[in-house]
Structure 1
Amino acid sequence: MGSSCGRVCWKWRSPLRRLAGFSRLLSTAALAPQICVVGSGPAGFYTTQHLLKHHRLARVDIYEKLPVPFGLVRFGVAPDHPEVKSYGAEDNRILGIPGENLSGVYSARAFVGWYNGLPENRDLKPDLSSETAVVLGQGNVALDVARVLLSPLDILRKTDITEGSLAAIACSKVKRVWLVGRRGPLQVAFTIKELREMINLPGTRPLLAPADFTGLGDVIKDVPRPRKRLTELMVKSALEKPGEKEAGRWASATKEWGLKFRRSPLEVLSAADGKQARGIRIAVTRLEGSGESARAVPTGEVEELECGLILSSIGYRSLPLDSAIPFDPKLGIIPNSLGRVQGEPGLYCSGWVKRGPTGVIITTMNDSFDTAQSVLEDLQTGVLHLSSSKEGFKSVRSILHSRGVHPVTFSDWEKIDAAEVARGKLAGKPREKIVDPQEMLQLISH
């Protein structure tokens, strides 16, 4: 039990690795089940909320590996979008191409963790000395990363971005960001809100090639409304003459971003020293099929993009919790039925480890309610054999104490929270996140 911090967070702290809302029943009596939820992100909290709301005798303890709660709500996608932060898996998909380990190449997950104050990424030190950055991927995370790279400092200063990240971005030479996708405009994964904000970002102009959007007006007539509205916005920005105000803003812009479609990464190119990325070689693709099922097939044509910063935003995946717990490495999920872990009575899962890395917080909320409902149904029907010999947190606490691990309580977190808010107030920000777990622990030890 325990981890690098040596503490457990408010009766929290994951005994192994934090997954998005992993729960096991540790019971004391048939009418008063004790439930353990591992992971204090949205999946864990929403599961807990539903259990407590619908079972008045239930006792739920939430365990978290860090001294601070809330998972992706705290460490999610963009500091200027606290309401839509949207990742919760612990690992990222690799590109699987030569050169991806060169300096200047980072996963979007690590980059996001860096500017959001995730302790494990606090020492990332991304190289922002290149004028051009390439983001591999065309989802909301990709757009958020591009927006943070290009946003005016006055906007970022009002968010809870970390002090170190803000200082690094203030010295950034990046003035152009390409978002590269294997497929076409009809398959982008970002949403209209994020696209509109990117188009209207002060000091920047969009680079959308008219040829990519010509003729799409007829194609989108029968697609679902969200996809239709999103595509119409791209078509308008690419093909229609901008209004006077917009044209003036774009003409004076010092930074720019663009979408490159039907391009698939082949190799990260190294500089003369063999250590630093200088560009990326990409295959030009064509689409076979249509809609969401369209596949990108290489045409044989190859292009190169000069860039010193490459961010991979091609998706996230969960990691296995323990060898004793089923895990599907291909899908990155724990095999389950409505949250019930296959072959493990009393064990449940929620969040991305349950369904895979898709959706945002509202998706996770509904998914977590479904898992909690499965727990409640199993309690009601007697599927779960509860025993008074299992002591719940009392038993866990004795194990922790025997190992010299001292839990961080919710009251302890409130001290950390107050310190962060106070530091933020001095800087005119919502909070100044503490990124060093040892510093957090020192705060609560006084």
Structure 2
Amino acid sequence: MRHFAVIGSGPAGFYTAEALTKAYGERARIDILDRLPVPYGLIRFGVAPDHQSIKAVSKRYEKVATTPGVRFLGNVHLGADVSIEELLHYYDAVVLATGAPHDRRLGIPGDDLPGVVGSAAFVGWYNGHPDFADLDPPLHGPAAAVIGNGNVALDVARILAKTPDEFVGSDIVGHAFEALAGSGIRSISLLGRRGPHQIAMTPKELGELGYLRAATPLVDLADLPPAEADAALEPGLRKSVAHLRDFARAGPDETKPKRILFDFFAKPLAIEGDGKAERVIVERTRLAEDGSAQGTGETYAVDASLVVSCIGYQTPAIPGVPYDEKLGRFPNSGGRIAERLYGVGWARRGPTGTIGTNRPDGFEVAEAIAALFPPEGESSDRPGSAGLDRLLAVRGCDPVPFEDWRKIEAAEVAAARAGNPREKLVRVEDLLRASGH
């Protein structure tokens, strides 16, 4: 028998647990720990609420969680309830799948003004993350700015632009649904330092903007390179740029009251306002030969009482674990951070790739662990789950197992608005109450 602990119950954590069960079969005992009482991490709190088909991958993770030898333990706080040193004592190997839940700061004057929020916070707010339930973003003004040219920026812009009817079938939480229904925002500017050929937006997400009931996506034809230059792009990016060309040709739809403005070659310099965000000062850029954005000295203002920064995330440091401040993640070699300590997903790579990218990550680390502890080798002399359970009992920690997560899920499904799959509970105390803890 071998004992393993996986810290984090998002995609990276579950793919790692799946890989370990395949490598060891009945000889593995795997505990998946999460500080929240609910599993699935990024699937529950990061994937847009109107992208239910993507969230369906949680069914695969449910199968892993109910595999003999695998336990989900929610409501266990790393650091407060158990340390890395203690976990390494109890388990043969510990895998950090903690993701990258913290926003990178913009690092410009005014980025701390009220009205400036990071995408992790804003997405967490409309997805029901307990840490951001009280965010209360300012939606009263007529204009918002979204800084970034990736899919998260698209998600934020799309959510801001949708009508209440367009959220039918989603699991957007009630407090966000009501606030967005009363929003005064009519103009959403997407600010990106470089041009259309440098975006990190996928075709599906871009194409959705063309079907919004009340909003028109607008692209300046002058920002687009010559059409023949698209041939050199990889296929996915070429399709994305084709959407931008379609938006540019179509122009504004006067029957729709909202605008999503793609402002390319726009580098934010500062956020200004009288005690709160009111405008973003932007410098016009141009592409250098190496593809970087160079300032031209030309500046202008973009009105925005809400500024959402979508420029990336970082993994929080953990006491006792090496940490790279510059990269915002755990330094590692092939996933190995230190002896018997590994990282997977964004905690290993940084915030890159899709949900599926985490699967080969988890299997690679599982292979490394199997090489260290051959599946047909001797059994471990470490206490594993039994040792952790005794420690948590002494410290007054009451873990939420998977069967009690199902009670939470049932309560959320029962409370759903008509046409929607669930109404998420957004307070830890409510989640624990629904779980029976």
Note if 1:75 corresponds to 2:78. Answer: no
Task: Calculate percent identity across the aligned residue pairs.
Answer: 41
CA change 1:198–1:385 in 2 (3 A) is farther
| Residue of 307, 311, 330 corresponding to 1:310 | 307
| 2:47 alignment partner, SS class | coil
Match of 1:226 in 2: 236
Note if 1:55 corresponds to 2:66. Answer: no
Match of 2:267 in 1: 264
Match of 2:317 in 1: 320
- 1:54 to partner: Cα distance: 2.3
- 1:112 to partner: Cα distance: 0.2
| 1:420 alignment partner, SS class | helix
- Residues 17-416 of structure 1: matches in 2 within 5 Å? 32-56=1-25, 57-84=27-54, 88-213=99-224, 215-239=225-249, 250-271=253-274, 275-289=275-289, 294-322=291-319, 324-341=320-337, 344-380=338-374, 387-388=380-381, 390-416=382-408
Separation of aligned partners in 2, 1:233 and 1:90: 30
1:43-89 Cα distance to aligned partner (Å, 9 max, x none)? 00000011112211111111110011110110013101134479941
- 1:410 to partner: Cα distance: 1.2
CA change 1:395–1:222 in 2 (3 A) is same
Alignment TM-score, normalising by the size of structure 2: 0.86
1:156-214 Cα distance to aligned partner (Å, 9 max, x none)? 1421111111010011001111100001111011111111001222221121111112x
Contact 1:216 1:235 in 2 (8 A): no
Alignment TM-score, normalising by the size of structure 1: 0.85
| Residue of 418, 422, 428 corresponding to 2:419 | 428
1:72-117 Cα distance to aligned partner (Å, 9 max, x none)? 1100131011344799412111011111111111111100000000
Separation of aligned partners in 1, 2:99 and 2:184: 30
1:389-420 Cα distance to aligned partner (Å, 9 max, x none)? x2011111111111111111111111111100
Count matched residues: 395
| 1:46 alignment partner, SS class | helix
Aligned amino acid, residue 422 of structure 2: R
Give 5+ residue unaligned stretches, structure 2.
Answer: 58-97
1:331-381 Cα distance to aligned partner (Å, 9 max, x none)? 12222222112xx22111100011111011011122222222221222229
Give 5+ residue unaligned stretches, structure 1.
Answer: 1-31
Contact 1:44 1:350 in 2 (8 A): yes
| 1:218 alignment partner, SS class | helix
Aligned amino acid, residue 301 of structure 2: E
CA change 1:264–1:84 in 2 (3 A) is farther
Separation of aligned partners in 1, 2:201 and 2:99: 17
Contact 2:329 2:346 in 1 (8 A): yes
- 1:35 to partner: Cα distance: 0.6
Contact 2:149 2:192 in 1 (8 A): yes
Separation of aligned partners in 2, 1:359 and 1:82: 19
Separation of aligned partners in 1, 2:54 and 2:157: 16
Contact 2:163 2:181 in 1 (8 A): no
